[in-house]
């Protein structure tokens, strides 16, 4: 009997041990760097984010990396004089690939964006070469990390098994690639977290500080954006078990592009999303004053060249405003002006223009003069023998029209887009659009039919119209709840539109394209 009882005790002990192992394994998996199962789609689903009103950069200012003293990993944000900060450079995948450029601008760009989207660790700066579905932005330890948009904080992790400190935030009901969905943004390798789970945060709110926690070889911000159909957040395409099964280390797995197709499917280009939706707004009113740790990089402020004053670690909003000149335009937008001038001066399509006249355009039409003004001045609408005014317009047609109007020439070469046939005339325009951050990923959707508001969005994004300073709607049938409201507002402000209906959801016809482009031409001619 004693023996039997001992056996029962042994079996019970073994059972308890097995249960503990299983429980420990579950906890370890949930806390490991991959995946964060506990940061699922259902967390805080009852809390909805404020309406999307555009984006800002998560980091605005970095030190001048060409100065050797700032290349030290231990240098902290608060140790750097204000005069040594510069605006974060533009993220340009074409420029990043060119590692032979030794200009100061190129060096700073390469030093800042140490890991492009879908990159490998081959140091070639080539997108879609690996399975790293995020962008790594180098910055000193302690650099404030800002909320890029209005979100709900669904997860804060002070330390996983690797020591990684991270934040996951959610934005509700965003239109991305033709689908309205929730997006999930992950901010990793932080040194400090300044937000709480289950709280709404607004654009410009500080959510933490740059660090090098977890698997990191230098201080940086890892930022990624997952789609709502990703199985967990932040999403990562492979697990440690996947790496072991393939006999690869973590870095070797990325270089090999392990489960790369999943990374592309469940994430979007974070920098492209930010740049395409950039809207700095009224910064002083938008910045949260509840945090005691707001630093100067929370503002689009131009540093004073003459000062060498250090930034206090806990500088208040008021003290920063007193010490700095506030510069109300975005550094990214200011670069566009130079780019516009260059592009306009390089317009060369007029030499080959045949200046067609179409039999199916009646001179009694209210828009026929506008059509021929566009043909004569911009050499547009040369792609067919008949005009077909009621025909709908595809994304391909629209982008070619807009680029022709602004003199943006197609780029020689073959694009990487899978839905554009080799030899298609759209190839060159698609490459130019990719370089201007209008297209991204592996698909260009050339045959997608556009609405009027889609066309307006392309216009504004390609040419960066002057921002409408007012939120008072100009067209009677538009609403601030429309995610493309700001694009419509900017266009309406550009052409000095009156209070009438715009029919933003209507499918775009060739006639409407003429009328929209004609309105822009009229304003451009007035300015000249």
| R_g of the chain, CA atoms, integer Å | 26
Q: What is the pLDDT of residue 352?
A: 57
Q: What is the pLDDT of residue 9?
A: 55
**Range list of H helices, 54-167:** 93-97, 104-112
Q: What is the pLDDT of residue 189?
A: 95
* C-beta separation of 198 from 238 below 8 A: no
* C-beta separation of 146 from 59 below 8 A: yes
Angle between helices 368-378 and 510-527 (to 10 degrees): 60
Residues 6+ apart with CB under 8 A from 177: 268
Tens-digit pLDDT profile for the chain (528 aa)? Answer: 444 455 555 555 555 555 554 444 433 333 344 444 444 566 787 888 888 888 889 998 899 888 878 878 888 888 888 778 888 988 888 888 887 877 888 889 988 998 889 988 877 888 888 889 899 999 999 999 999 998 899 999 998 777 889 999 998 888 877 778 889 999 999 999 999 888 888 888 889 999 999 888 889 999 999 998 898 889 888 888 888 888 888 888 888 889 889 889 899 999 988 888 888 764 433 333 233 333 443 333 333 333 344 544 444 434 433 443 332 233 332 322 222 222 222 223 434 566 778 888 887 778 888 888 888 888 888 777 788 888 898 999 899 888 888 888 888 877 778 888 877 888 888 888 887 777 766 778 888 899 998 898 888 888 877 777 676 778 888 877 777 888 888 888 888 887 788 888 889 998 999 999 888 888 877 765
Q: What is the pLDDT of residue 211?
A: 95
Q: What is the pLDDT of residue 348?
A: 34
Q: What is the pLDDT of residue 313?
A: 45
Distance CA 346, CA 432 (A): 14
Class of domain 61-326 (CATH, top level): mainly beta
Write the Ramachandran bin of 409: left for phi over 0, alpha for psi from -120 to 50, otherwise beta.
beta
Residues 6+ apart with CB under 8 A from 178: 445, 448
Domain limits, the chain: 1-31, 61-326, 340-527
Distance CA 144, CA 154 (A): 20
Handedness of CA 87, 91, 94, 100 (dihedral sign): positive
User: CA angle, 375 as apex, 374 and 381 as ends, to 5°?
Assistant: 100
């Amino acid at each position: 009997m004693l023996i039997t009882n001992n056996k029962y005790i042994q079996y019970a002990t073994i059972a308890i041990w097995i249960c503990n192992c299983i429980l420990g394994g579950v906890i370890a998996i949930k806390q490991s760097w991959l995946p964060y199962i506990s940061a699922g789609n259902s967390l805080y689903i009852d809390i909805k984010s404020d309406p999307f009103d555009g984006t800002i950069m998560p980091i605005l200012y970095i030190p001048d990396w060409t100065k050797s003293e700032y290349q030290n990993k231990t240098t902290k944000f608060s140790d750097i004089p204000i005069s040594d900060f510069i605006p974060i450079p533009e993220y340009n995948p074409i420029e990043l690939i060119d590692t032979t450029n030794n200009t100061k601008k190129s060096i700073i760009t390469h030093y800042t964006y140490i890991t492009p989207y879908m990159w490998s660790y081959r140091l070639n700066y080539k997108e879609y070469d690996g399975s790293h579905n995020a962008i790594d932005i180098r910055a000193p330890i302690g650099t404030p990390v800002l909320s890029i948009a209005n979100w709900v904080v669904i997860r804060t992790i002070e330390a996983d098994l690797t020591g990684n400190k991270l934040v996951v935030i959610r934005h509700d009901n965003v239109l991305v690639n033709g689908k309205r969905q929730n997006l999930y943004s992950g901010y990793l390798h932080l040194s400090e977290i300044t937000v709480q789970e289950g709280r709404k945060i607004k654009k410009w709110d500080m959510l933490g500080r740059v660090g090098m926690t977890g698997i990191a070889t230098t201080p940086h911000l890892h930022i990624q954006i997952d789609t709502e159909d990703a199985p967990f957040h932040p999403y990562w395409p492979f697990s440690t078990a996947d790496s072991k099964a393939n006999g690869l280390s973590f870095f070797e797995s990325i270089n090999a592009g392990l489960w790369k197709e999943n990374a592309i499917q469940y994430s979007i280009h974070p920098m492209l999303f930010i740049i395409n939706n950039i809207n700095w707004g009224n910064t002083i009113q938008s910045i949260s004053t509840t945090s005691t740790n707001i630093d100067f990089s929370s503002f689009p402020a131009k540093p004073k060249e003459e000062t060498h004053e250090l930034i206090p670690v806990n500088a208040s909003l008021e003290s920063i405003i007193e010490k700095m000149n506030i510069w109300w335009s975005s550094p990214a937008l200011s670069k566009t002006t130079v780019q516009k001038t260059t592009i306009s001066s390089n317009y060369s399509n007029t030499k080959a223009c045949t200046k067609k006249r179409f039999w199916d355009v009646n001179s009694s039409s209210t828009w026929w003069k506008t059509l021929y003004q566009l043909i004569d001045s911009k050499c547009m609408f040369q792609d067919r023998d008949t005009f077909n005014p009621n025909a709908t317009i595809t994304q391909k047609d629209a982008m070619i029209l807009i680029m022709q109007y602004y003199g943006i020439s197609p780029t020689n070469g073959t694009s990487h887009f899978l839905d554009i046939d080799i030899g298609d005339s759209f190839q060159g325009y698609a490459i130019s659009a990719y370089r201007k951050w209008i297209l991204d990923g592996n698909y260009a959707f050339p045959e997608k039919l556009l609405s009027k508001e889609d066309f307006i969005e392309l216009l504004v994004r390609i040419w960066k119209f002057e921002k409408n300073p007012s939120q008072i709607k100009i067209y009677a049938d538009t609403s601030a709840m429309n995610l493309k409201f700001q694009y419509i507002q900017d266009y309406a402000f550009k052409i000095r539109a009156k209070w009438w209906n715009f029919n933003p959801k209507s499918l775009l016809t060739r006639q409407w394209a003429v009328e929209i482009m004609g309105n822009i031409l009229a304003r451009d001619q007035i300015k000249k």
